[in-house]
Structure 1
Amino acid sequence: MNIRQIVTGHDEQGNSIFLSESDVSPVQGSLLLGFKSFELWSTKKDSVVPHKGELNNVNNYFPETGGSICRVITFPPQEESSFNFSPEAIAETKELFPGLIEHLDPTSPGMHTTNSIDYGIVLRGEIYLELDNGEERLLTPGSCVVQNGTRHAWVNKSKQPATMAFILLGVNREE
């Protein structure tokens, strides 16, 4: 699936304009072959409009408290790809996806917990949302998930890639 990003903004007179329009290349690594993350946009807790910063500004895999991240992810079929936790793959993942590896559990690949509320929308294919208590739900195109900081994994049990759009909102976790 091709992902295109269109960004609006303002000109010097304050009029609405299109700042950019381009195809987005996926970030891919060897931790999970076939996993593609299209990094679209992020905000910090003190972001303002009109936007005056970089256009492709995602520099951490999960948002800071009060920040947000928008991305599209393609998940490979589980039977075609397994997690590779070799030292080389871990080092590469730390470089390509800063902050991701610290949230993954090598004893339960794919399971992770973040300090975020995530809105996930299935665009193509089907994927299971698995929770740490063993419950799971099959998600199909049009399924929308509100993931409230729970320990979970996205598992593609089909024979085709599954693609989801995500908006992550960084929040504080109550202890």
Structure 2
Amino acid sequence: MLQALSAIAGGGALAAIPQSSDAKDASELPPPKRVVTGRDGAGKSVFKSFDVTSKVVEIDANPGLTFYELYMTEGVPGLTGLEPDPMLKGTKAFPGPGGTVFRLISYPPRRPEGWKPPPGVTMESGLRELSDKVPGMGDHFEHDAPGMHTSDTIDYGVVVRGEMTLELDDGQKVHLRQGDCVVQNGTRHRWRNPLPEPCLMAFISIGGKRS
């Protein structure tokens, strides 16, 4: 997730891939539309929302890292269809037990050799910004293993556009292409974009409890 901050702390840990001059930054891509259904006073199904995603979070410390916060629930949904939009209250990193968070994340292209972060950015300041904008997110990341993080969730992930590398303990890796899916069972991991173009992934996180 924090690919650029991994490069800051890891020095030459990322091999160089030239960045294409026509590679698009996430900010150049149109935000996704979000459709939310519900019920009206007569109990008929209706569209409650059909608009551009309102919660778009850009991380200045890692240009191109963008969160599209779509929806979240807590506990067992009542399914009345009359619930207010939960995103009006803001967002958070991960749900509590039984809750869900639905988001898209656009990851920046793999950085070219010699790339430097914005002036004044450190691992600590980057994680602080992440937690400020997506409350609590930065707290899940390890300082001595850049990019590695763990959450008490099962995460269903889909590569919507581009390609992504998922890394687990002991350097185990799998390469994911567009359309590939992953079930992340609360394990320690990190994401790295191997290409000189953005990668867009969709995630549904379901809160669990470690036993």
Give the TM-score of the pair, scaled to structure 1: 0.91
| Amino acid corresponding to residue 61 of structure 2 in structure 1 | L
1:66 corresponds to 2:98: yes
Give the structure with the larger strand fraction.
1
Q: CA RMSD in A?
A: 1.9
Question: 5+ unaligned residues in a row in structure 1: which ranges?
Answer: none
Letter in 2 for 1:60: K
| SS, match of residue 77 in structure 1 | coil
In the TM superposition, residue 31 of structure 1 has moved relative to its aligned partner by 3.5
Identical aligned residues as a percent:
37
Q: Which residue of 1 aligns with 2:22?
A: none
Does residue 168 of structure 2 align to residue 131 of structure 1? yes
Q: Distance in 2 between matches of 1:85 and 1:97?
A: 18
Deviation of the 1:55 alpha carbon? 4.8
Is contact 1:79–1:157 with CA below 8 Å preserved after alignment?
no
Bigger proportion of residues as helix: 2
Residues 97-155 of structure 1, C-alpha deviations (whole Å, 9 max, x = no match): 11111101122221101100000000100010011220101100110000001100110
The alpha carbon displacement at 1:86 in A equals: 5.3
Bigger mean CA offset, 12-21 vs 106-115: 106-115
In structure 1, the partner of 2:62 is: 32
Q: How does 1:3-152 map to 2 (within 5 A)?
A: 3-25=32-54, 26-51=56-81, 52-57=83-88, 59-79=91-111, 84-85=121-122, 88-152=125-189
1:113 touches 1:151 (CA, 8 Å); kept in 2?
A: yes
Q: Deviations over 1:17-65 (max 9, x none)?
A: 0001111152112232211110000000143112422252552111111
Q: Which runs of 4+ in 1 moved over 6 A?
A: none
Aligned pairs, how many?
A: 174
3-state SS in 2 of match to 1:133: helix
1:87 CA drift (Å)? 5.2
Higher radius of gyration, 1 or 2 = 2
Q: Please give the alpha-carbon distance, in whole angstroms, between the structure 2 residues aligned to 1:117 and 1:85.
A: 30
Unaligned runs of 5+ in 2: 1-28
One-letter amino acid of the structure 2 residue matched with residue 74 of structure 1: S
Which runs of structure 2 are paired with 1:147-162 in the superposition (5 Å)?
A: 147-162=184-199
TM-score by length of 2: 0.76
Judged with a 3 Å threshold, the aligned counterparts in structure 2 of structure 1 residues 82 and 108 are, in CA distance, closer, same or farther, namely farther
Matched residue of 2:111: which SS?
helix
